[in-house]
Structure 1
Amino acid sequence: MPDRADHVRRRDISPRRPLRRRPTEQSLFSCIYGLVLASALVAALDATGDQADPGPDALWVVLTALAAGAAHGYAHVIALRASADGRAASSRLRLVLAEWPLVAATLPTVAMLLAAVAGWWSEAAAVDTALLFNTAALFCWGAWAARVSGYAWPSACRAGAMDMLIGLLIIIADTLID
């Protein structure tokens, strides 16, 4: 008889209650990936000694997010073909289009860069604000994903802190490299 402990409840998981909107694993993954991608791009594109030009930087963030989303979706299509699953071609298109949260997660960063284009603030301020916003958003997404999975608040905050650590590492790398 297999050793099963279905009757034992973990202490760090609270009982599930119905949620209005439970995000899919794919959308959570895509949002977190998009935030990390936007942070890394905005940090890399931030020109220290060069002439600031946030317009092309914003365009690069959007184009890279679109390319990454398309590549992820297409990788799912290739995996589907390799598994010899006989799903219809329309489901393959849905796999590619399902990556929209990755692109959407980069839009706040793009908006901050476009605000710098409009002259509302400098590119350096836009980059710093985008990095801080994305780091805070990583915490929120990580904590929310843990809460949706049934974790109690302390465990959810630890999960969010681990996601936030990625953003902090990008900020530290940006500071050291500049």
Structure 2
Amino acid sequence: MRDHDGRAERAAHLQRLLFGGVYGTVLASALAAALDHEAGPDAPGYDAVWVLLAALASAAAHGYAHTIARQTTEKTAVTAGTVRSVLAEWPLLAAVLPTVAALLGSHAGWWGEGAAIDVALALNTLALFGWGFWAARVAGRGRAAACRVGGVDMLLGLFIIGANVLSK
């Protein structure tokens, strides 16, 4: 029984990791694509902080929602479990770091903000492929099936890039 509980716990951890990675990557891509400074000067430092704060708020909201859902079904108190649930959303925060790093590179003067956004969108699209591929492999799928799953995940990134191009 103990081994089964350990496997279930590992599976739940992996599921949260994969969910947070995909969700955070899509969130970072959507936020980066929405950055537009046509009415004023570029502000990549501000934008990097904004992306990070939006991800932090999303992670906190998601973790808190998990706690509320458990409280509703299990009739438990919202206490330290809330903090643990919010902290378990770290993969979402980690997934936005490439976008934040690209924007901070622009803030440091290494490249323009437009280039930082383009790089972030490209990296995030590749990351989405990786998340999908990894999830499929963990689920026991072969390489070809994992590539298909990764390709479908990658379509999310390509959709955001296409919407970004069309909206500008």
Identity, % of aligned pairs?
55
Instruction: State the alpha-carbon separation in 2 of the partners of residues 97 and 86 from structure 1.
Output: 19
Q: Secondary structure at the match of 1:24?
A: helix
Q: Pick the structure with greater CA Rg.
A: 1
Q: CA 1:52 to 1:88, structure 2 compared with 1: closer, same or farther past 3 Å?
A: closer
- Separation in 2 of the partners of 1:30 and 1:48? 32
Contact 1:72 1:99 (8 Å CA) reproduced: yes
TM-score (norm 1): 0.84
Amino acid at match of 1:143: F
Structure showing greater relative contact order (alpha-carbon pairs closer than 8 Å, 6 or more residues apart): 1
Secondary structure (helix, strand or coil) at the match of 1:50 reads: coil
Question: Which residue in 2 is equivalent to 1:53?
Answer: 43
Question: Which residue number in structure 2 is paired with residue 90 of structure 1?
Answer: 80
- Deviation of 1:94 (Å): 1.1
Number of residues of Structure 1 aligned to a counterpart in Structure 2: 158
Picking from 43, 54, 67, the partner of 1:77 is: 67
CA RMSD of aligned residues (A): 1.7
Deviations 1:66-97 (A, max 9, x none): 00000000000110110024478333321111
The one-letter amino acid of 1:52's match is D
Structure 2: give runs of 5+ residues left out of the alignment. 1-9
Query: Whose helix proportion is higher, 1 or 2?
Result: 2
Q: Give the aligned residue type for 1:113.
A: L
Distance change (3 Å), C-alpha of 1:117 and 1:88: closer
- Structure 1 position 51, deviation (Å): 1.7
Normalised TM-score (structure 2): 0.89
Q: Is the 8 A contact 1:46 1:127 kept in 2?
A: no
Whether the 8 Å CA contact 1:46–1:124 is kept in 2: the answer is no
Partner residue, 2:101: 111
Do the aligned partners of 2:67 and 2:78 also contact (CA within 8 Å) in 1?
no
Task: Give yes or no for contact 2:71–2:78 (8 Å, CA) kept in 1.
Answer: no
Q: Which moved more, 1:46-55 or 1:125-134?
A: 46-55
Distance 1:172 1:48, change over 3 A: farther
Tell me the residue number matched to 2:166.
176
Work out whether residues 135 and 168 of structure 1, in 8 Å CA contact, stay in contact via their aligned partners in 2. yes
Partner in structure 2 of residue 10 of structure 1: none
Pairing 1:81-160 to 2, within 5 Å after superposition: 81-86=71-76, 89-160=79-150
What residue number does 2:55 align with? Answer: 65
1:171 and 1:96 mapped to 2: Cα distance? 30
Q: In 2, distance between residues paired with 1:89 and 1:60?
A: 28
